[in-house]
Structure 1
Amino acid sequence: MPQLNPNPWLFIMTISWLTFSLIIQPKLLSFMPTNSPLEKPLTNTKPSSWPWPWT
């Protein structure tokens, strides 16, 4: 059965994961986000109650 032969796809998968882990991932992680969520001011707003017509 050709599905059980790991020779062609195992090498490609291993090389792909190594490329991603060693080359692409550190480049992506080096970028700094421009808008950090921690820099936003916290505002506590009290929600207004809904004016129900039957009360």
Structure 2
Amino acid sequence: MPQLNPNPWFMILLLTWFSFSLLIQPKLLHFTPTNPPSNKTLPAKPTPWTWPWT
């Protein structure tokens, strides 16, 4: 079965992984998020609904 032969695919995997980790990833890490997280407090929980038939 030719798909079990790792000879060409292993080198492709290594080249792809190294190109991503050494070239693409540092460029992506320079972007800043458009909406940085803020230190907002969570709103208080609302009171439960009082059903008229209970």
The answer to whether TM tops 0.5 is: yes
How many residue pairs get aligned? The number is 54
Return the alpha-carbon distance in structure 2 between the equivalents of residues 47 and 12 of structure 1.
Answer: 56
- Per-residue deviation, 1:34: 1.6
Tell me which moved more, 2-11 or 19-28: 2-11
| Separation of aligned partners in 2, 1:8 and 1:46 | 58
Q: How many Å apart are 1:46 and its aligned residue? A: 3.4
TM normalised by structure 1 equals 0.73
Alignment match, 1:10: 10
Name the structure 2 match of 1:52.
Answer: 51
For the aligned residue pairs, the C-alpha RMSD in angstroms reads 1.8
Q: Which amino acid aligns with 1:48?
A: T
Identity of aligned residues (%): 59
Output the amino acid matched with 1:54. W
